[in-house]
Every structure is written in C-alpha cells, then in structure tokens.
Amino acid sequence: MTAQSAAAPGAAAPKPPAQPGRWKGRALTGALMLPATLWYVVLLVAPILIVLVFSFGKRSRTGGYTPGFSFDNYASALNTADPFLTSLFLSVVGTALCLLIGLPLAYFIATRATKRKALLIVLLVIPFWTSFLIRTYAWLLILGPDGVAGFIGDLTGNATFRILGTEPGVLLGLVYGYLPLMIFPLYVTLERMDRTLVEASKDLGASRWATFRQITLPITLPGLITGSILVFIPMMGEYVIPQLLGYGQVYTIGNLLYSRFLEARNWPSGSALGVGLILIMLVVVTVYVWFTNRGRTVRDVSVV
C-alpha cells in the first residue's frame, strides 16, 4: 500500500510554485470558455429569468407586460390541464416509438452494417438538408385525401378515413421529425461498445435476451438517456407539427402558448404557462433519468 500511495500522483503534494505557463493555461481556458458561457448566460439563463419575472406581472393595456407581483397567472395556468396532458401523452408515446424504432436501427448500423455504415449514416442526415417546415408540409400531401389516407379509404371502403387531423397522424409527424435525434446518441454509444463483452456473455451461456438486457442495454444507457431527452423535450413544446398535421384538432400546450402570446398578447399569462411547461419537463426528465439509472447503480455495486 505504501508503495502504491508513493507512486500515486501527489494529490496532497505541495503545490508547485505558480508558473507563468500555468497562468497562461488558465487564461486560455477562460478565453475558450467565454463564448459558450456568454451564449448560455445571454440566450438561456437571461431569457428564463425574464420569463420568470414576466410570469408574476400583469398584461399592459395594449399587450405586453406591466410589472407587478401576483400569482393570478399561475392560478389560471392550473385551469389548463388538458393541453398539458395532450402534449405529455404525445411526447411520451412519441419518445417510446422513437426508441422502439431507433434502437434496433442504431444497433444494426453500429454492429452489422460494416461496409454500408457510412452510407446509412449519410442517409440519416440527408433529411436535414431540407427545411423542417417543408418536410412537414410534404406530409400534408403524402397523408392527405389524395395520398395514403385516400388509398386506405378506397381499400377499406371507408370514404371518410383520415390520418391528418388525428393523434396518430401527429405522432407520425413527431416521430419522423425527431427520430434521427434518438438514433445518433444511441449509435455513438453502441459503436464504442466493447464487442468482446457480448462474446464473453455468450461464451458463459447467457441467452440473447439476457445478453441484451445485462450487457448491451446498460452500456447503451447514456445514449438512451441523451436520445430520449433530446426527443422528449422538443416534442413536449412542439407547435408546428400538431398545428399542420393535426389540423388544430390536436390541441397541445404549444397551441395554447401561441394563443396566449400572439393572439391574446398576454405575455405574463403565457410566461406562467411557459414556466409550468419547464417545470413539467424538469420533473419528467429527472424521474426518467433517476428511474433508468437506478438499476445501473445497483449493478455497478454488485460488480464490485
């Protein structure tokens, strides 16, 4: 033990005298971090603080904001559970669907598609070359009465069959729009996975399912969590897809926020809803991360 601690890099060793090089290093680190720090402070922290302050204020006569302090906006936000629930339902189901579709695909690209790997990744990126709005508009034509819905309607003899303006239609748009954001983090973690662990598991007689559950899934977890959060959060606040593909029949929190800010020009009330939305996201994401990590901690301990 003594030999080991002697060999260990001196955590407790006296600090070396300050060198000009070290100071320069710090300055460099600071300079390099400055753009990102500014970015977050100006574009993330400050706006959230503004929203928070606005949410306690009052609407001025011509719209906008008048300073004030009341909880009225929050009280009225509590009366709007339905759109919150619709958004929550869509984003939870949408995230689950992305995971169901994304995980096998990411696994395939990372482990099986040796020669075509680059091609498949490029194919995943290609949709991003077209504007998000245009791609969503394209779905209007594809799924519309002259497209898939009409075709299915003809086949089944149900002339009123529709995909657009229904929750499944909106879900399809959401999954289409955000699937790549799920696949990429999964792919990165699966790509780095040590394949010998899987082989070892097989050698030791574990079934495919047991190997997946005990080896692949835990290793994929960081990517899975990142991907789920990347997909869940924008889905929760999504406005364009429900509005276009949902025909306004699927009324989400995004619709309500739009109405409060732009139609009613009631920024304080919209801000209170925004704070509510942020809180719900924080709670859901925290619970999710805690839940998915729980098993992992236990397993780590058991390994020791």
| Residues lying near other proteins in the complex (CB under 8 A) | 59, 61-64, 80, 82-83, 130-131, 133-134, 137-138, 140-141, 144-146, 160, 165, 240, 243-244, 247-249, 251, 255-256, 258-260, 262-266
Contact 190, 105 (CB under 8 A): no
- Measured from the CB atom, is 59 or 109 closer to other proteins? 59
Query: Which DSSP category does 15 fall into?
Result: P
- Measured from the CB atom, is 140 or 197 closer to other proteins? 140
Q: Could you tell me which residues come within 8 angstroms of residue 284 by beta carbon, excluding any fewer than 6 positions away?
A: 88, 92, 232, 236
How near is the Cβ of 69 to other proteins at its closest, in Å?
20
- Give the closest residue to 269 by CA, choosing from 70, 49, 25, 124: 70
How near is the Cβ of 85 to other proteins at its closest, in Å?
12
- Measured from the CB atom, is 214 or 259 closer to other proteins? 259
Number of Cβ within 10 Å of residue 270's Cβ equals 24
Instruction: Give φ, ψ of 162 to 5 degrees.
Output: -135, 150
How near is the Cβ of 246 to other proteins at its closest, in Å?
9
Kindly report each contact of residues 189-193 with a partner whose C-beta sits within 8 Å and lies 24 or more positions away, as own/partner: 189/219, 189/220, 189/221, 189/222, 189/223, 189/224, 190/106, 190/107, 190/110, 190/111, 190/216, 190/219, 190/220, 190/223, 191/110, 193/110, 193/219, 193/220
- Measured from the CB atom, is 113 or 152 closer to other proteins? 152
How near is the Cβ of 258 to other proteins at its closest, in Å?
7
Number of Cβ within 10 Å of residue 159's Cβ equals 9
**How long is the chain?**
304
- Measured from the CB atom, is 147 or 218 closer to other proteins? 147
How near is the Cβ of 276 to other proteins at its closest, in Å?
15
Identify residue 112 by its one-letter amino acid code. R
- Measured from the CB atom, is 162 or 190 closer to other proteins? 162
Rounded CA separation 63/73 (Å): 15
- Measured from the CB atom, is 189 or 255 closer to other proteins? 255
How near is the Cβ of 180 to other proteins at its closest, in Å?
19
Q: Could you tell me which residues come within 8 angstroms of residue 126 by beta carbon, excluding any fewer than 6 positions away?
A: none
How near is the Cβ of 148 to other proteins at its closest, in Å?
13
